[in-house]
Amino acid sequence: MATNPLPPSNTDGPDSPDRLRAFAKYSGIAFQMLATIGLSAWAGTWLDGHFQTKNPWWTIGLMLFGVLVALYQVIRGLTKGD
């Protein structure tokens, strides 16, 4: 009688393909959000330096815009089916 050297497949375990796929999806959304806000903040800082503004209006405005775009991307990513 031959024995099976592989453990039985468990789709509910911590390493199941569904859990790994969900982890990849949500971590991707988080990195996309970080990149969107970071790039908009960098662009605002650069514009403030380029135009030599007294107050950081470009940074504030573009960061708020980046947050709104990132939230839109998160909502779109969470409501979109696989």
Query: Which tens digits make up the pLDDT trace of 57-68?
Result: 999 999 999 999
Q: Which two tokens stand for residue 32?
A: 């996309």
Q: pLDDT band at residue 80, thresholds of 50, 70 and 90? A: confident
Q: Where are the domains of the chain?
A: 24-79
Residue with tokens 């375990």: 13
**Contact (Cβ atoms closer than 8 angstroms) between residue 35 and residue 67:** no
Whole-structure pTM value: 0.77
pLDDT of residue 16: 84
Q: Supply angle C-alpha 51, 56, 61, rounded to 5.
A: 100
Rounded CA-CA distance 19/80 in Å is: 17
